[in-house]
Amino acid sequence: MSLPDVYEVMRRIDRCKSEPNKMYMRAEFEFCARGIEVAGHLTSTDKCRHTEPYGPTGRDVFVTEIDQPAIPANRMLTLFLKAMKDKNAIDGIIDELSQKIKVAVFKVRIAKQHLDEGEVYPYRLVALPLDPKFDPWSQSLLDYYGDAGDHVVFDLNRQDNWEYITRKDKIFDDLTYRIKKYHYLPNGGIEEDLKTCLSHPRLFKCHGIRHVRTDQLIKFLGFDGFDLAAFVGWSMGSSSKVSAAPAQASNYAEIREAWPRYIHKLCVPFDYSRMEVKN
């Protein structure tokens, strides 16, 4: 059973009637984040393990610029022929080639880490191009952060959102995704108590967004192990299973801040026609 189509999931998020919930899920998608990493508040269950929320404030972002990505050969040929044909077009071509791309860089705290007492949450920097040609949601997220100021951006917890999309606005109804086989220890268990959960379908909720986004990054945007370690926040050990990435690299380099490595892979024209609802 394959994952739902990424454009279908994005269409459904855009269909959400509640603006706070819609923006929360947009952030989950854009950052490839767990729900707890975006939420501004903890659930009662979360409070048993954590003392403060992971979710960002409006100050957890900055804007910068990058150079244009390498121009494909066919586009370069088109520009060359245009310049040969019309000398007056040269200045316009030079302007096009020299334009910078604005990028928003978001600070996302990473959950599921084994931290010592008093240790602060680690974080990753997630960079997104702001040009709507490449990304339909990044500017709206940046504006949402700006409106939040010093306060939490997403004024809810992950259970609030689950309740909303399960009971009030069932945007993901009829979508499922497959959970692969995994092993786990029951609460308080020891190694001898290791249990196995076989692969099975699951109703699509917010964690499914992370599956779909990860699939998009690998399958369609060409992310490798280093890119995933930087963007998703995986350890180098996990990332090396995707591509050749030495686990020791994170001991020497700030992998989770290496957004300049992958940002041009996100500068791909977005297919808005696939966001249109078909009658």
pLDDT of residue 88: 79
pLDDT of residue 266: 97
pLDDT of residue 244: 57
Q: In what order do the strands lie in the sheet with 61-66?
A: 61-66, 101-109, 123-129
Count of all residues that appear for the chain in the document:
279
187 burial (CB, 10 Å; 0-12 / 13-18 / 19+) is exposed
What mean pLDDT do residues 129-138 have?
97
pLDDT tens-place string over residues 135-185: 999 999 999 999 999 999 999 999 999 999 999 999 999 999 998 888 887
pLDDT tens-place string over residues 254-264: 899 999 999 99
Report residue 258: phi and psi, to 5°.
-90, 45
pLDDT of residue 154: 98
What mean pLDDT do residues 104-115 have?
91
Please say if the pLDDT value at position 98 is more than 70.
yes
pLDDT of residue 190: 61
Chain Cα centroid distance, residue 241: 20
Please say if the pLDDT value at position 200 is more than 60.
yes
pLDDT of residue 119: 85
Please say if the pLDDT value at position 107 is more than 90.
yes
pLDDT tens-place string over residues 10-58: 999 999 999 999 999 999 999 999 999 999 999 999 999 888 999 999 9
pLDDT of residue 77: 77
Arithmetic mean of pLDDT over the chain: 89
pLDDT of residue 271: 95
Comparison of pLDDT for 78 and 63, the residue scoring more: 63
Q: Among residues 109, 35, 99, 25, which one has the least CA distance to residue 65?
A: 99
Please say if the pLDDT value at position 92 is more than 80.
no
What mean pLDDT do residues 55-66 have?
98
Query: CA dist 275 to 5, 77, 143, 170, 217, Å?
Result: 11, 31, 22, 19, 18
What mean pLDDT do residues 58-85 have?
84
CB contact set of 191 (below 8 Å; sequence gap of 6+): 185
